[in-house]
Copies of this chain bind each other. A is one copy, B any other.
Amino acid sequence: MTGRLTIAGLGPGDAALVTPEVSAALREATDVLGYAPYVARVPAREGLRLHPSDNRMEVQRAGEALKLASEGHSVVIVSSGDPGVFAMAAAVFEALEAAPQWQDVAIRVLPGVTAMLAAAARAGAPLGHDFCAINLSDNLKPWAAIERRLRLAAEADFAIALYNPRSAGRPDGFGRALDILRDAGCGERIVIFAHAVTTPKERIETLSLKEARPEMADMATLVIIGNSATRKVGRWVYAPRRAS
């Protein structure tokens, strides 16, 4: 019996944003692994084993999934949003590189609607021109690299999507990021705080960068900072296609 490991994105929260491809993979699975709140989004059924685990257990979880697949199970690792964007896919390939005995496991990655796309859709079209995505978590990279990238992103006049802006364990980075962008002359830029997007707790706030305060964000918030030409029409925010 040949197993398989599927790394699947559940989208930002609303079940109507789960792709049919991912739903089919979940229907065929014997085992689903992932961070507990994401596993909780998978409908339980007979014959399906759910393996919820804690945050920051990514590589261990990936190893466990590879082992189960190598034993013949049909395994799905779930991520929120897209599994390739600051999520489980990279962790699986790290685990695979460290464990040559699993090199022959059949793997596939199923994309999903990542948070910045859902947040942008709710706000209008702030990613309609060139943009970048930066993970503000410094659990795995030096904070200095984040600061440098923020400065260059401002200089390049990208719209900027900030993932994982702020958590209980990292209360200060987001405020520093806002200061860096204000120092880079971005104070008048439009900022979107998209909280728990596409869930019943969704809340979208739009203001200028100079008005933005760190406590407006938490781990369920996706922040988008417009480029220098981003503008409003009615309640909508968009990046003109002719921006420089």
Residues of A within 8 A of B (CB): 11, 14-21, 24, 58, 82-87, 89-94, 96-97, 103, 107, 109-114, 117-118, 120-122, 124-135, 140-142, 145, 148-149, 152-153, 155-158, 231, 233-234, 236, 238-244
The answer for the CA separation of A92 and B125 in the assembled complex, in Å, is 9
The answer for the CA separation of A96 and B20 in the assembled complex, in Å, is 33
Given contact pairs A17-B21, A97-B233, A111-B118, enumerate 10 new A-B contacts (beta carbons under 8 Å): A18-B19, A20-B20, A93-B238, A109-B125, A111-B121, A114-B117, A132-B132, A141-B241, A141-B242, A149-B158
Contacts of A127 in B (CB 8 A): 84-85, 133
Contacts of A97 in B (CB 8 A): 231, 233
Q: Is the CB of A128 within 8 A of B89?
A: yes
For chain A, what secondary structure do more than half of its interface residues adopt (helix, strand, loop), or is it mixed? mixed
Q: Is the CB of A125 within 8 A of B89?
A: yes
Q: Is the CB of A89 within 8 A of B121?
A: yes
Q: Is the CB of A134 within 8 A of B125?
A: no
Contacts of A107 in B (CB 8 A): 236
Q: Is the CB of B132 within 8 A of A109?
A: no
Q: Is the CB of A111 within 8 A of B103?
A: no
Contacts of A231 in B (CB 8 A): 97
The answer for the CA separation of A16 and B22 in the assembled complex, in Å, is 8
* Residue in B128, B142, B240 whose CB lies within 8 Å of A244: B142
Q: Is the CB of A236 within 8 A of B93?
A: yes
Q: List 20 A-B contacts (CB under 8 A).
A: A14-B21, A17-B20, A82-B113, A84-B117, A85-B127, A89-B128, A94-B240, A96-B234, A109-B122, A110-B121, A111-B118, A112-B117, A129-B141, A130-B134, A131-B133, A132-B133, A132-B158, A140-B242, A145-B244, A149-B157
Q: Is the CB of A130 within 8 A of B132?
A: yes
The answer for the CA separation of A132 and B127 in the assembled complex, in Å, is 11
Contacts of A122 in B (CB 8 A): 109
Of all A-B residue pairs in the complex, the 4 with the closest CB atoms, nearest first, are A90-B128, A89-B125, A132-B132, A93-B238
Q: Is the CB of B236 within 8 A of A124?
A: no
Report the minimal beta-carbon distance from A220 to chain B, rounded to whole angstroms. 17
